[in-house]
Amino acid sequence: MLKKRLLIVEDERIIAEDIKRTLLHYDYEVVDIISHGEKVIEQFDQLNPDLVLMDIMLAGKLNGIQTAQKIKAKHNVPIIYLTAYANEPILNSAKVTEPFGYLIKPFEEHELHATIEMAFYRYKLENELKQSEEKYRLLFNSIADPVFILSENADKFIDCNDIVLKKYKFSKQELLSLPPYKLFLEDELQKLIDYLNAGGITESPVFSNFTKDGDKLYVELHKNSITFNDEQVFLIIARDITQRKQAEDEKQIVQHQLYQSQKMEVVGKLAGGIAHDFNNLLTAINGYSDLALKKLDNNSDAYSDIEVIKDCGDRAARLTKQLLGFSRKQVAEKSIIDLKEAIHDLEKMLVRLLGDEIILKTNFQCQSCMIFADKSQIEQVIVNLIVNARDAIKGHGRITISTSEKKPAPDVLKRNKMDESRTYVMISVKDDGCGMTEELQEKIFEPFFTTKEIGKGTGLGLSTVFGIVKQNNGVIRVASEVGKGSEFKIFFPLEKNYAKKQKTAEKTVTKIEIKGNETILLVDDEESIRDYLSEILEELGYEVIIALDGIDGLSQFKKKQEKIHLLISDVTMPKLSGPDLLEKLKQIQPQIKALFISGNIDSKLIKNYESNPNINFLRKPFSYESISSKVREILNKK
């Protein structure tokens, strides 16, 4: 067993030798006897003693206490003071160096031995405790989650690990002086108190925490009551779930969008179906109204009555157009259009629409406002938004339409899968009306949702806008605050490389002869449509072969020995659709011409036949003039 090495620092040589003799008797090793503090400092590293016996009064500039302070600054070694003085000032000075013993001269040999052994025992315990604390601190700081130690009544922080300081951006001193509630939302404090006071195993609640910089963290708390430094405390693990929460929120948004998309798709199909059937009825109503008006005297009472019927039919036709716009099944006739021109052309009509109490302002901030869209649909969007803004204003107010080059927010681009490299044109319609709550803003684009009184709104205005914007590759956003008005923003891709329009002289419109003597196969499963069309066509001199559906149409075609010049057919029919009938007829007569009539023409169908000049389309409801001129136009084509 190695002997314990002791250094004697004593300026009285006789006393020093006597102490050395005692130490050797108790089997200690004396590494040296030094009388000056300066020499102790100089030789300490070389001597490397296990314990120092230090006289307080030494020869030289440094006394024993000063020498001990310098040793303690660099070395962890126990020091025992030896002195003939025990007054209060000396004792207080000695305490600063945390000595392991204090012996008053003269002392007995056994006192010296006992003091030395107790010093070594204490030194051993302190080292073991220090190592234990270092292991605890290493383990404490190696935990990846923030860990807090809170007082039993949760009014102060007692300790925390390093990850807390990193995540919350406080220094340790700042955090330990901070009341714990400062990290939490005020609305969540009662929830925190209830959680800490709850006994037994509880669920781990989620709280909002804030860093020194004000950044928000979502944390899941896990608590445990432990004894720390002889007092009951809370050990709190605050697991950072900010990324998980953001992902869950994003997932919820996507799920909500998917739900809305599916709902809109279902209602869109319903709207398209309703529009199809409704347009069939309107074709007969408006068509027979046209025929009746042609047969009546302009001054008769019946003429006025039928004009009212015709006007109502036209209004109903506009409503079905809205339904088709909402369902995105209205065929878009897209071209490069100038938004500034489109808005300018509507301005006079919009001013009349608003009346005298509401001021309309325009503000065009972009040099080029060219987009690829259906002009009539864009006009419908603008009118619907202006009407919506007008209805939100009670009394006097202001509506501003503006255009600018502005890219949507990054989350909007990402969510709508828009090209981030493109430049976008933004149309803004802003009003100073009553505004909307957040709850209303979530519902305004839903079909048939309206805040207007019964009979004053269809609930299709904004849902139609939504459908048209989507159909024209745009996106619409709304910002509103109750009492401060609303702003609708629509973003369309800017068309930079467009062919500049050249002004051309207006062509003189010549009257087209609409009568003829060709043979026409008329196929429609609606009796009223067949009767109306056959009456018009026969009046114009055509020979009309009527078929009840696609199968009947094929049969009639095969029976007819002479050439059939034109097929007029509904698109959607039971048994055999119009396009399928045409394909079968082309096998018999390849160059047959066709006119498809429908209240719900799919853009895909038009695309399939757009390269064939013999195939044409006409949307229901159509007028006497439009069907008669269209038939003649097709038959005149070579």
Residue 180 DSSP label: G
Give residue for tokens 């955090």: 175
Separation between Cα atoms, residue 271 and residue 277, nearest integer Å: 10
Burial 35-63 (b: 16+ CB within 10 A, else e): bbbbbbbeebeeeebbbbbbbbebbeebb
Residue 103 has pLDDT above 50, yes or no: yes
pTM (two decimals) = 0.44
Residue 262 has pLDDT above 80, yes or no: no
Q: 51 versus 515: which is more confidently predicted?
A: 51
181-216 per-position pLDDT tens digit:
999 998 899 999 889 888 776 788 999 999 999 999
Burial 595-617 (b: 16+ CB within 10 A, else e): bbbbbbbeeebbeebeeeebbbb
The pLDDT assigned to 619 comes to 83
Burial 383-421 (b: 16+ CB within 10 A, else e): bbbbbbbbbbbeeebbbbbbbeeebbeeeebeeeebeee
The answer to whether 45 and 69 are in contact (CB under 8 A) is no
Separation between Cα atoms, residue 295 and residue 304, nearest integer Å: 13
| Category of 504 on φ-ψ map: left (φ > 0), alpha (ψ -120 to 50) or beta | beta
CA dihedral 333, 336, 341, 346 (to 10 degrees): 10
Give residue for tokens 């498809």: 596
Residue 81 has pLDDT above 60, yes or no: yes
Rounded to an integer, the average pLDDT of 241-249 is: 89
Say how far residue 331 (Cα) sits from the centre of its chain: 32
- Per-residue pLDDT band for 459 (boundaries 50, 70, 90) equals very low
The residues pairing with 151 across neighbouring beta strands, listed in sequence order, are 233
Q: 258 versus 454: which is more confidently predicted?
A: 258
Question: H or E stretch including 360?
Answer: strand 358-364
Residue 24 has pLDDT above 60, yes or no: yes
Q: Tell me whether the omega of the peptide bond preceding residue 621 falls within 30 degrees of 0, making it cis.
A: yes
Residue 260 has pLDDT above 70, yes or no: no
Q: In the structure encoding, which two tokens stand for residue 103, read together?
A: 């012996």
Residue 372 has pLDDT above 70, yes or no: yes
Separation between Cα atoms, residue 28 and residue 8, nearest integer Å: 12
Residue 508 has pLDDT above 60, yes or no: no
337-352 per-position pLDDT tens digit:
888 888 888 888 788 8
Q: 528 to each of 147, 281, 286, 537, 622, how far by Cα in Å?
A: 80, 8, 11, 14, 14
381-404 per-position pLDDT tens digit:
888 899 889 988 988 999 999 999
- Per-residue pLDDT band for 470 (boundaries 50, 70, 90) equals confident
**Secondary structure string (H, E, C) spanning 14-35:** HHHHHHHHHHHHCCCEEEEEEC
525-535 per-position pLDDT tens digit:
889 889 989 99
Residue 268 has pLDDT above 70, yes or no: no
Mean pLDDT (the chain) is 85
Rounded to an integer, the average pLDDT of 161-167 is: 93
The pLDDT assigned to 501 comes to 40
